[in-house]
Structures are given as C-alpha cells and as structure tokens.
Amino acid sequence: MAALRRKFGEDYQVVNTNQATTFTAPVKKKRQRFVDKNGRCNVQHGNLGGETSRYLSDLFTTLVDLKWRWNLLIFILTYTIAWLVMASMWWLIAYIRGDLNHGHDSSYTPCVANVYNFPSAFLFFIETEATIGYGYRYITEKCPEGIILFLFQSLLGSIVDAFLIGCMFIKMSQPKKRAETLMFSQTAVISQRDGKLCLMFRVGNLRNSHMVSAQIRCKLIKSRQTPEGEFLPLDQCELDVGFGTGADQLFLVSPLTICHEINPKSPFFDLSQRSLKNEEFEIVVILEGIVETTGMTCQARTSYTEDEVLWGHRFLPVMSLEEGFFRVDYSQFHSTFEVPTPAYSVKEYEEKNSLPSPVSTPTPALTESHGARRNRVFSVDCINTSEERGRHGGIGGRLPSKLQRMSSSGKEDLQRKVLMLSSQHSEKACSTGDLPLKLQRLSSSPGPEAENRLQLKSLKVGFEPMTQSTGDLYQHSLAPTLSPAPVPMHSPLLSGGRPEDNLPAKLRKMNADR
C-alpha cells in the first residue's frame, strides 16, 4: 500500500474487486514540521563550499555532535591505526639493527628481547601501552632509539586516550537524555480561563530530581509578508507565557499547565474556531533548566501545529490527594474534554462590545425634550434670590402693593405654584397671580416716568421640566435682553402703543391707583 502511494501519489483509488465498489482513501497530506515532537530540528545545511574547514577547527565539538555509530567507528579506527603504526615502528627498529636474524642467539643483545617478527613487535607494543608487563619482552640498555620511541609512545598514547575517552564520556553524559524524562502534552487547547481566552499546554517531569531554575519559552513559526512586499519564510514571533509576571519561571515538581493569554498583543488576536482550520503555523515550546544531579543545563523542545490545537477543550486533572502525599496519574496526562467556548476571536468579541447599544443610545427627540425641561422648573431658592436681587435693585419698591404682598408669602405657596406650572404641557402667558414672574425694567423710553413703568412679560413654559440654578436665574434677571420672549407681531409694543396698554386691566387699575 505504501509503495503504491509512493508510485502513483496520495490520491490513488482503492478498488475492492469482491464487492465491485470504488472509494477514495481519505489520506491527509503530512505537513512538514520545523521541529519534531521529540525536539529534533528538521534543518539541513547545504552548499557550504569552503566553510567545511570550520568543523575541523573545533574537532572535539564535531566529534561530540556526531551520531553514536560514527563515534564508535572513529574510536575503534583511531586505536587500531595507532597500534599498528607504533608496532610497525618497533619492528622497523629491530629490522634495521638486524635483531630479527639473531632472535635465538643467546650471546646477542637485541634492542627488544624476544622480538623476532611483526606479531611479536605488535604484542610488545600492546603490553607496553596497556602496562600489562608480562616480563618476556623488554627493552635493553643498548638501544637508545628504542628508549626515545618508548617515550614518544607514552606521550602519544596519553593524548589519544584523553581525547577519545573524554569525547565518549561527554557524549554519554549529555543532558539530552535528561530531556527524555520531560513530558509535553500531545496537543494544545484553547479555552477560557478567568474569563479570558487562552492557549494552554501541559508539561511534566517524570523524575524525582528537580529541574533547577526551570524556564519555558514559546515561539510562533509562521510565514508572512511585510507591508513592503518582503516575504519572510518561517518568521519567528515570541508568545508571552508570563514573562512580565514571572509565570515563565517554573517549579516543576508536578505537571503544570502553561497558559498564553490571547489579547491585542498576541498573534492569535484575530484567531477564531473557523479560521483555525485554514491557518498554517507551528508553536515551538522550549523548556530550559539545570539538572539537579549533574549541574548541567538541559533543554527540552517540542512543537504543536495547527492540527494539534483543539478549540474548546481543557485538560483533565491528574493530581489527587492520597494519604500523606500527592499522587500524579500520568495516564490522564494527554487527555482533554470539551468545554463551552466562544467560537469567535477576541478581536471580534471586543469589536462587538465596542458597538453602542440601541437601547442605551439617547435619541435626538429625548435629548431635545430633556434640554427643553431645563426651561421649566425653578427652585424656590432661585425665586427668592431673584426677588432679592430685584428688591435691592429698586424694582421691588416699585411693584404694586398686591405683588409685594404675594412676594412676601412663604416658600410653600411658591413651591406649590411652581409645581402647578410644571404639570402643564402647553405654553401659556403668566399673569400677575402666577409665579415666578420675570420683571423687566423698561429702558427704552427715557425720563423719570419711564423708570416707574414695568413690563410684565409672558414667560414661556415648555413641555419638559429642568432645574435651573440661582446663578442662571440671576443672569437672566440682570440681562433679560439676551433671551427675550418672542413678542407677537400684533403686539402694541411693535405697533407703537404705550407699554401700559399691554398689561392686564387689573394691573393697569392698580398702577393708576398708585
């Protein structure tokens, strides 16, 4: 089946000859990951050219970074070649001195005793290098070149042992293996926490030894295009997992749920449940810490693609209280369950809340009616204040006696009259018996007689009530010409008649008696 897919492609048809039915195998194309689930980065460097010599400048790191099979091969080949080269040098000394021809002559003193051929020279080197010392082969005092070669062999052997054994030790003690006991959840979830939409995943530590100064970071890998038209493949963006609040510093003694709040600063601000199906991104999680037993820094990595992010899910709890301790159930470590979660993005939610509500929006009619009420209700204190201002200004002394008696009445009568005015819905002209009155001094005609003339102007009472302050009424009493009441076109004032003719008959009689 796999061979057919490689040959004909992913969208081939499988035909069942028994039932004579044809169906298409729903095979989803595997997405190329930037970082595998085990933390390995899928990046290969090519076309280095002359830059490969840089690897030889740091030979020790290059050997440590190699895979185990190459390390073992280099280890075996290095010792085998070194042994063969040194054994050949001992055999060459014996051949040059002629010790090979006098191997069984007891009267002859060779450079190395009992070395007759190459195998015997190789055994001598191994006994010397490994400090076995069987005592059958040894260097005599009549071989200075053998003594020099022996010193060189000791120095070279120490260097090779230190280099290769040290390389193997570092390779075995790498903290990468400590990362194998650090777990990440298979999927990430998006749900609400504390009333906010959050992206969450889970981390855990399988060992009892702690990770000192554990810190977690998240990167969003996503290709994008800048406003200038530049295409950035695999652009890296930082995801805030509590850097400002210190939530990224972990006390990893039990499984923890890492939370990324989706806010206007998050790259997932406009991510919704529907757009999640069409997105292509990868979230890389990096957990760093110091191994408590060795003191070396360890780093564990994993990644989540858009297919591994579950919308509207939450992790099952894994902690339980036992008798005297807390128990962690790692069988539920990757399990999730569905919870009610809004399907729209945070951006759509904020835009929806920012729109004005039609119920709370004031209509122009209500606004105008509210403004019209302001011209209607006056407090008793305002009336008294305006009357006192009129009295101090000389107007109160020129009022008729009946008006003076009415103005000296108590606040209760005035308040009752104000309430009667506020209950009327139509505009009307106030007579001398309806308070409050707005008196205006006639300044249009000069002379002392004009000062005694008073014009009682009709006060418009609107449909809507409103409270007016004392200062406003005082300004109206001082400057009545700023907002005069409209005078009908047939008024005697406009037709050239006397101002007294505009007053009611009863008021004209009172003025005449005075």
The pLDDT confidence band at residue 502, using thresholds 50, 70 and 90, is low
H or E element that contains 396 = none
Per-residue HEC secondary structure of 456-467 comes to ECCCCCCCCCCE
Q: How far apart are CA 260 and CA 189, in angstroms?
A: 11
H or E element that contains 254 = none
Predicted confidence (pLDDT) at residue 30 exceeds the cutoff of 50: yes
Q: How far apart are CA 429 and CA 431, in angstroms?
A: 7
Task: Give yes or no for a cis peptide into 436 (omega within 30° of 0).
Answer: yes
Pairing of strands 211-225, 249-250: antiparallel
* Better pLDDT: 131 or 476: 131
- The percentage of residues in the chain with a pLDDT greater than 70, rounded to a whole number, is 64
Per-residue pLDDT of 122-176, as tens digits, reads 998 888 888 887 778 888 888 888 889 989 998 998 999 998 888 888 888 888 7
Helix, strand and coil content of the chain, in percent to the nearest 5, comes to 35, 20, 40
* Better pLDDT: 204 or 20: 204
* Better pLDDT: 312 or 468: 312
What contacts 24+ positions apart, CB below 8 Å, involve 347-356? 347/264, 347/269, 347/270, 348/270, 348/272, 350/264
* Better pLDDT: 412 or 57: 57
Angle in degrees, 0-180, between the axes of helices 144-172 and 68-97, rounded to the nearest 10: 180
* Better pLDDT: 507 or 460: 507
Q: How far apart are CA 335 and CA 186, in angstroms?
A: 9
Task: Please tell me the predicted confidence (pLDDT) of residue 4.
Answer: 42
* Better pLDDT: 435 or 240: 240
The pLDDT confidence band at residue 498, using thresholds 50, 70 and 90, is low
Task: Please tell me the predicted confidence (pLDDT) of residue 505.
Answer: 74
- What does the mean pLDDT of the chain come to? 74
Q: How far apart are CA 181 and CA 429, in angstroms?
A: 94
What does the block give as tokens for 483? 């907002």
User: Which option is the CATH number for 52-174: 1.10.486.10, 3.40.1780.10, 1.10.150.120, 1.10.287.70?
Assistant: 1.10.287.70
Which residue is it, tokens 């970082």?
A: 35
Task: Please tell me the predicted confidence (pLDDT) of residue 28.
Answer: 54
The pLDDT confidence band at residue 501, using thresholds 50, 70 and 90, is low
Residue type, 197: L
**CA nearest neighbour of 193 among 339, 305, 343:** 339
- In degrees and rounded to multiples of 5, residue 434 shows phi and psi of -100, 115
Residue range 433-444: average pLDDT? 42
Per-residue pLDDT of 286-327, as tens digits, reads 999 999 888 889 999 999 999 999 999 999 999 999 888 999
* Better pLDDT: 112 or 382: 112
Predicted confidence (pLDDT) at residue 468 exceeds the cutoff of 60: no
Pairing of strands 309-311, 188-193: parallel
Predicted confidence (pLDDT) at residue 260 exceeds the cutoff of 60: yes
**Cα 382 to Cα 151, 389, 399, 410, distances in angstroms:** 119, 11, 19, 14
Task: Please tell me the predicted confidence (pLDDT) of residue 143.
Answer: 85
The pLDDT confidence band at residue 88, using thresholds 50, 70 and 90, is very high
Task: Please tell me the predicted confidence (pLDDT) of residue 110.
Answer: 84
State which of 106-120, 293-307, 479-493 shows the largest mean pLDDT.
293-307
Predicted confidence (pLDDT) at residue 219 exceeds the cutoff of 70: yes
Residue range 25-53: average pLDDT? 79
Q: For the chain, what are the domain ranges? A: 52-174, 177-352
CATH number of 177-352: 2.60.40.1400
- The percentage of residues in the chain with a pLDDT greater than 90, rounded to a whole number, is 34
Q: How far apart are CA 51 and CA 491, in angstroms?
A: 106
Angle in degrees, 0-180, between the axes of helices 68-97 and 118-129, rounded to the nearest 10: 120
Per-residue pLDDT of 392-417, as tens digits, reads 444 444 445 544 555 555 445 545 55
